[in-house]
Each structure stands twice: as C-alpha cells, then as structure tokens.
Amino acid sequence: MSTIPGDPSTLPAPGTVLRELVLITGISGSGKSVALHALEDAGYFCVDNLPPELLREYMGLSHPRYTQKVAIAVDVRTAGSLPVLVPLIDELRREGVAIRPLFLDASTDTLVRRFSETRRPHPLSQPEADGSGQHALIEAIELERLMLAELRELSTVIDTSTLRPAGLRSHVRDLVAAANSRITLVFESFAFKYGVPLDADYVFDVRVLPNPYYERDLRALTGRDAPVAQFLAGQPEAAEMLSQIETFIRRWLPALATDQRGYVTVAIGCTGGQHRSVYMVEQLGRRFADHGATVVRHRELVAGD
C-alpha cells in the first residue's frame, strides 16, 4: 500500500506523541558520522550502527526521549540485515513514524582519497598481500554501491564529494529544519567543471546565458551580489529560462509529492558555479518561498567552509 505524506490515514491518532526518525545511510567514507554529530547538536537523540532488524523494536520504546526525535545511522557493517530495511521503512511510516532517510554519497575518487588519508580499511575490503590495495578498495566501494542501491533510491541523497565537515553539517541542519509534511525543495548551484552533483534529481544547464565573469567589475563578485543580479536580471534569456524552470517545477511538484518524495533537489550549473547558477538558484528560492519548505545551497561557495 502506497502512502501520501500528510494523508490522514497515515497520521497518528490524536494525542499520540509523534515519533520523528532521521535515518542516515550511505557509502562508507561519505561523512555519516559528521551528519550524525550535526543532528546531535540539533537536539536529536543519536544512535550509530543500529542493526536494521532492531529498528522496529527501538522505535517502539515507550520513553519519548529516545524515540520522539531520533537520528539513527545504519551502514554496510550490518550488510546481512540491509534487505529488511526498505520494506521496514514503509511499515513504520504506516504506523505513524515520520521517517526521513538521508543517503550520503561521494565520488569514487574522493572516497579512495579519504580512505588513503585516514588509513582506515573499508568495511568490505580484505588486505591484499600482492600490494593491490587500491584496486581492492575500488572494488569494495562499487560492491557497496550495489548493495545500497535500493536504499539510495528512496532517500534524499547528499553529495559530499566537495564538502568539508562544516559545510556538510550546515547542509544536514538546513534539510531537517526545512522538512515538514510537504515536500522539501532543494535548489543547488554548482560548476560543471567540478562535476554534476550526485544528489541532483533535476539538472539545468545555464551556461548559455551571458556570463558576468567577462565583465571586469563583476568578475570577483557572485550571483548573490546586487551588481551581478542586476546584470542578469537585465538579460531577456535569463528571465525566460528562469520562468521555464519555475513552470516545470510547479507543473510536476504535486506529482512528486504523491510519490512519497521527501525532498527534490534541483541543480543549476554554470561554468564556475559563482555567477549565473548562483543567481538562478537565489531567484528560484525567492519564487518558491510560498512553498514553505525550501533550501538554497551553493556548492562551490560552501565547499571550502
């Protein structure tokens, strides 16, 4: 049975204490511990590496402190139990638990570098006597991607490839703060030269628009600065593209909301991720302010935080 967020048939009975669960999963080395610490700072009771088969029991505890607002991290260390997690999420939702699955991901190159820097073994890797350690690590990462693919599909994906811990903590806090019974819209600017974000549901390319970078007085500024915004607001192409993106999102937002989507990430890309994409994301954030649950994020501006 499918459920619609906010459908009265899925809500707890009057007087019932709402149980809120942020379920953190993802690829090893992608920053799950950082995300869990961010939620702990935000007032969530946090549990790391809970076996999936114990999730229902845990959420059934009678003490509100442990279940009213909780964040639980589950990863591939409990690989044998992962198949039960996907149907369990649907079951708990029908029982009145407000579950928000967050899936942390990163590019393979980034993960290899992180494991090399920390000298920590991947949970699925085995020591190689012939010195082929990196090859074995890449194989372990790809195997983990396959094992978690179904879980990734039903989660909000956060690409941590270019994020430092402070940036990831900020993004996680923004996401959980914006979440409510409605679908959360995430507008994210990025630079194509650094790759398309792994967490994007929709990608729009605005490199065809006039580039403020070639205006000497605007080069050092960003799309959040008034002179750049005024320059792009005066370009008919920018206004037309902005209107078309807004129309597309408004047309399909109701359908996405009925598909149990907690979040939708709309990524806007330009060459350097400083001017055109930033301006477009800022404008979309303003245009969808009436939606309520909206997050604006600029990947290249926060990557070094």
Which residues are part of a known binding site for ATP? 26-33
Task: List, as residue ranges, the binding site.
Answer: 26-33, 75-78
Residue 271's alpha-carbon distances to 20, 92, 239, 275, in angstroms, are 39, 43, 19, 9
Helices first, then strands: H and E counts in the chain:
12, 9
Distance CA 177, CA 171 (A): 10
Q: How far apart are CA 225 and CA 228, in angstroms?
A: 6
Look at the alpha carbons of 165, 169, 171, 172 in this order and tell me if their dihedral is positive or negative. Answer: positive
CA–CA dist 66, 48 (Å, integer): 13
Please report, in range form, the residues annotated as the binding site for GTP.
Answer: 75-78
229's CB contacts (< 8 A; 6+ apart) are 223, 279, 282
The DSSP secondary structure of 214-281, one letter per residue, reads: GSTTTTTS-TTSHHHHHHHHT-HHHHHHHHHHHHHHHHHHHHHHTTT-SEEEEEEEESSSSSHHHHHH
CA dihedral defined by 74, 80, 85, 87, rounded to 10 degrees?
170
CA neighbor of 77 nearest in space, from 50, 111, 101: 50
Q: What are phi and psi of 263, to 5 degrees?
A: -140, 150
CA dihedral 210, 207, 184, 158 (to 10 degrees): -140
C-alpha to C-alpha distance for 6 and 182, rounded to whole angstroms: 7
Are 109 and 80 within 8 A, CB to CB?
Answer: no
Say if CB 56 and CB 64 are below 8 A apart: no
